Structure 1
Amino acid sequence: MDYYNPSEFKKLVHARRSVRKYTSEKIPDHVVHECLDMALLAPNSSNLQQWEFYRITTPAIKEQIAFACFSQSAAKTASELIVCVARRDTWREHSKQMLAEFKKLPVETPKVALTYYGKLVPFVYTVGWFNVLTPFKWLLNTILGLFKVVPREPISSFGLKVWAAKSVALACENLMLAFRAHGYDTCPMEGFDSKRVKSILGLPCKADIVMIISAGKRDEGGVYGPRMRFPREQFIKTV
């Protein structure tokens, strides 16, 4: 099978738009599940898979989430609402899970991989209660950085939040492109009351909502205008 078709991928990327209004057409369950599976195939930091996706199917909860999104039409008219969450507190559990998965492989796992998940991951991502280890890690990185290349981030809970959010954002793009490939549209929403949404879903404090993605069949007027991008020279640099 030929997986290399840049022209088709270009069409898909150009076809994806943020849609603010959907028709009443529902997205079949199997399509939603397939799109979510595509999201889970996104690249992520150290394969620690620090994401969770909450598909809102209960009408009452969906109404609450839409209200927490300031009742914007992209949320109210959507067939699907998916809350995309970054977990900065699951790395320890998932690193142990990786070690367990290695044991199931038919080939011997390289020692460097076992050392990475068994020793390096706990060192890199542990920040301590109330970031008590942050100043010590900063000092260590600063001194060692004078003589060698060192990982500078994350060294705090804020750094872990950014670290986890980057992987979730990659998965979100997979999710939106997957919906577009099936003929449906999406809107990645940042306009929401995060505290209210976390309360509705019962999320812990170390779970951070990266975005809420609505999905459905594009309605007339659902796209507000032509895509606008600034000159590419403003952003793409050659050094």
Structure 2
Amino acid sequence: MNAKSDISPDSVSSTTLEEFRKVVRSRRSVRRFTDEPVPDEVLSDCLELAMLAPNSSNLQPWEFFVVRTPDLKAKLAEACLGQNAAKTAPVLVAVVARPDTWRQHSRMALEQWPEEQMPGIVKKYYSKIAPIHYNQGPFGVLGVAKKAAGLVVGLSRPVPRGPYSVNEMKVWATKSTALAAENLMLALRAHGYDSCPMEGFDECRVRRLLSVPRKGLVTMIVAIGKRSEKGVYNRQYRFDSRELVHYL
């Protein structure tokens, strides 16, 4: 899949805003789906849009495992604790964070730069800065050293605080991957399809079924399809924004 060309900000209009509002407000976590298949071109386009999500240093620390074959899908639904969304969806997508691909993707960023001339700052970042910033070293020793240096330098000026450990790299990758999952679900809604992001699953079984790489983190499994008549269980509500949004 190749990303489509950039769209000018000038093309965004009030009509676009209203359509986006409809997409966001009509997206629901659907628990039951019809057996109508999801066309390949729709699924492909939604995954392509998912991969356009903002992500740290454009290192794209994610992978998507698309499950459509009935036997494997049934086993994956069982690993999802038999949830109705998993059992009835025609497609299941495991969204996997990859905290371990930063080195390979740094090289790919240099090799696949889309313009003829690469800015010097970009080349320096991927060839020199990223290999230090994300590298934790054997047994995390380099991460500890970077943290100590950050504490000292941070006394006099702002410095990036991490990631300083393997666990912090997991958080780093998961944050970007979650953004991609949201893009995926909104893209599906824009196409007229629905989804349900699931965190309730047996990760050991999921990893084994899908041959997820050892350091990959199954962030969520997204059920995909057309919502059935009783696919949405309850009314949507959110807490009062005054409790959660702070204007300073």
How high is the TM-score relative to the length of structure 2?
A: 0.92
Aligned partner of 1:105 in structure 2 is 115
Structure 1 counterpart of 2:57, one-letter code: S
Q: 1:41 aligns with which of 47, 52, 55?
A: 52
Q: 1:79 aligns with which of 87, 90, 94?
A: 90
Identity of aligned residues (%): 48
How high is the TM-score relative to the length of structure 1?
A: 0.95
| Whole-Å separation in 2 of the counterparts to 1:186 and 1:158 | 29
Query: How many Å apart are 1:133 and its aligned residue?
Result: 2.5
| Whole-Å separation in 1 of the counterparts to 2:49 and 2:42 | 11
Aligned partner of 2:171 in structure 1 is 162
RMSD: 1.3
Structure 2 counterpart of 1:109, one-letter code: M
| Whole-Å separation in 2 of the counterparts to 1:186 and 1:111 | 42
Aligned partner of 1:65 in structure 2 is 76
**Helix, strand or coil: the match of 1:132?**
helix
**Structure 1, residues 60-106: CA drift from partner, whole Å, max 9, x if none?**
2111111110010000000110000011111001101111123x632
Q: Aligned ranges for residues 87-236 of structure 1 at < 5 Å?
A: 87-102=98-113, 105-106=115-116, 108-236=117-245
**Structure 1 segments unaligned to the other structure (5+ residues):** none
Structure 1 counterpart of 2:22, one-letter code: K
Query: How many Å apart are 1:223 and its aligned residue?
Result: 0.6
| Whole-Å separation in 1 of the counterparts to 2:245 and 2:51 | 29
| Whole-Å separation in 1 of the counterparts to 2:130 and 2:106 | 7
Query: How many Å apart are 1:110 and its aligned residue?
Result: 1.8
Q: Aligned ranges for residues 17-36 of structure 1 at < 5 Å?
A: 17-36=28-47
**Structure 1, residues 139-174: CA drift from partner, whole Å, max 9, x if none?**
111011111211112111111111111111111111
**Structure 1, residues 101-135: CA drift from partner, whole Å, max 9, x if none?**
23x632x2221111111111011101123323232
Structure 1's consecutive aligned runs of 4 or more residues displaced over 3 angstroms after TM superposition are: none
Kindly tell me the number of residue pairs found equivalent between the two proteins: 237
**Structure 2 segments unaligned to the other structure (5+ residues):** 1-9
| Whole-Å separation in 1 of the counterparts to 2:12 and 2:225 | 27
**Helix, strand or coil: the match of 2:197?**
strand
